[in-house]
Amino acid sequence: MKRIFFAILMSLSMTSCVHIAGVSASNVTADKGRQVMASTSGMGFLSLTTPNAKSLEASAIAQLKQKGATKNVTTRLEMRNFIIVQMYSVTATGEK
């Protein structure tokens, strides 16, 4: 039994998968307003359950509007994969 457990443990520790993906789209013009940031986050499990990206985005934009941002509002969704758990975060930026 110890050998089977050790073999499974070794095979899991030696396997790795790295996935890097990125997308960027922006039409933000340079302005002299004061920069404001807000962020929200959520978790997923085994890529089977994920938080609703639209609700994360809406929450971040609502926080941004509470801080007074009205111009050049952009959002960015990031996902970090920790083998079985995925961390999602939405960062919104804008100018006052």
Per-residue tens of pLDDT for the chain, all 96 residues: 777 777 776 666 655 555 555 555 555 566 667 888 888 899 988 878 888 888 888 898 889 889 888 888 888 888 888 888 888 899 999 888
Task: Print burial letters for 4-37: b (CB count within 10 Å at least 16), e (below 16).
Answer: eeeeeeeeeeeeeeeeeeeeeeeeeeeeeeeebe
Per the structure, how many domains does the chain have?
1
Tokens for 11?
Answer: 């095979």
Q: Which domain holds residue 56?
A: 32-96
Residue 81 confidence (pLDDT): 83
Per the domain annotation, does 8 fall within a domain?
no
Strands 35-45 and 71-82 turn out to be unpaired
How open is the CA angle 95-75-66, to the nearest 5 degrees? 50
Residue 21 confidence (pLDDT): 57
Q: Smallest Cα–Cα separation from 92: which of 69, 48, 81?
A: 69
Per the domain annotation, does 20 fall within a domain?
no
- pTM for the complete prediction? 0.62
Per the domain annotation, does 76 fall within a domain?
yes
Per the domain annotation, does 57 fall within a domain?
yes
Question: Do residues 42 and 56 touch, judged by C-beta distance below 8 A?
Answer: yes
Residue 80 confidence (pLDDT): 85
Per the domain annotation, does 69 fall within a domain?
yes
Per the domain annotation, does 59 fall within a domain?
yes
Residue 34 confidence (pLDDT): 85
Residue 30 confidence (pLDDT): 60
Residue 96 confidence (pLDDT): 84
Residue 29 confidence (pLDDT): 60
Query: Distance (Å, rounded) from C-alpha 72 to C-alpha 2?
Result: 59
Per the domain annotation, does 53 fall within a domain?
yes
